[in-house]
A and B are shown apart, each in its own frame.
Chain A
Amino acid sequence: AQTVTQSQPEMSVQEAETVTLSCTYDTSENNYYLFWYKQPPSRQMILVIRQEAYKQQNATENRFSVNFQKAAKSFSLKISDSQLGDTAMYFCAFMKRGGGSNYKLTFGKGTLLTVNP
């Protein structure tokens, strides 16, 4: 079974600054996806960024980038130029790929990020 650990229950950052959210995971699988999802207050969860485990290059989506360290089983999210709209709960999630996968997401407990003006 896979586990996902987010060790920072809450974080805060000043508007326009950079913040990094941590995530570690445990798996014996070699073929998988990792995701960061964002859940704003009282709004639905949306995908922030995706990383395929076989790709060495770190994924980037505009102000969001990841630091994927496969050997260390670490998958951190960096948010640059933080904006007030980035205030949300952020979840790290794991999905097994390939044969026998049910494609379910295993989530961490989340990190509540507050961006201060």
Chain B
Amino acid sequence: DTGVSQDPRHKITKRGQNVTFRCDPISEHNRLYWYRQTLGQGPEFLTYFQNEAQLEKSRLLSDRFSAERPKGSFSTLEIQRTEQGDSAMYLCASSFSLGLGEQFFGPGTRLTVL
């Protein structure tokens, strides 16, 4: 069990550019979550996958955001036409549906939009 990994750990981009983040969950976990955390706040839910199906998207997830989880393994989160307000830490978490609710978090990708 190598834990949840995220890549890249840091991303600096210019406004208007597209960025893509990757999350590799714990291998036997069928649920995967994306959260966004801004400075001084707790993480906020963005979206949730069970296996390869995206079952819920938060209203925080504008049309510029898209997430995928092909084959129910790793997931990608893409932000198109980035804005300065997108600057945040993007956290990925995974869990097992037969577990006790615990979500295991990755180290996050810190996005800075200049």
Chain B residues with CB under 8 Å of A110's CB are 40-42
A103 to B95, CA, bound (A): 9
A56 within 8 A of B: no
Interface size on B, residues (CB 8 A): 25
Interface size on A, residues (CB 8 A): 24
Interface residue SS majority, chain A: strand
B91 within 8 A of A: yes
Mask: chain A, 34-49; 1 = CB below 8 Å from B; 0 = not: 0101000001111100
Are A44 and B105 neighbours in the complex by a CB distance under 8 Å? Answer: yes
Chain A residues packing against B (C-beta within 8 Å): 4, 33, 35, 37, 43-47, 50, 52, 91, 93, 95, 97, 102-110
How many inter-chain contacts with C-beta < 8 Å in the A-B complex?
A: 58
Are A109 and B41 neighbours in the complex by a CB distance under 8 Å? Answer: yes
Are B45 and A43 neighbours in the complex by a CB distance under 8 Å? Answer: no
Known interface pairs A33-B101, A47-B102; 19 further A-B residue pairs with C-beta atoms within 8 A, sorted by A's residue number: A4-B42, A35-B102, A44-B4, A46-B105, A50-B102, A52-B100, A95-B101, A102-B48, A102-B56, A103-B31, A103-B33, A103-B48, A103-B95, A103-B101, A104-B45, A105-B33, A105-B45, A105-B93, A109-B42
Chain A residues with CB under 8 Å of B25's CB are none
Chain B residues packing against A (C-beta within 8 Å): 4, 31, 33, 35, 40-45, 48, 55-56, 91, 93, 95, 100-108
Chain A residues with CB under 8 Å of B44's CB are 107
14 contacts between A and B (CB under 8 A): A35-B102, A37-B105, A45-B43, A45-B91, A46-B105, A47-B103, A50-B102, A102-B48, A102-B55, A103-B48, A105-B35, A105-B93, A105-B103, A107-B43
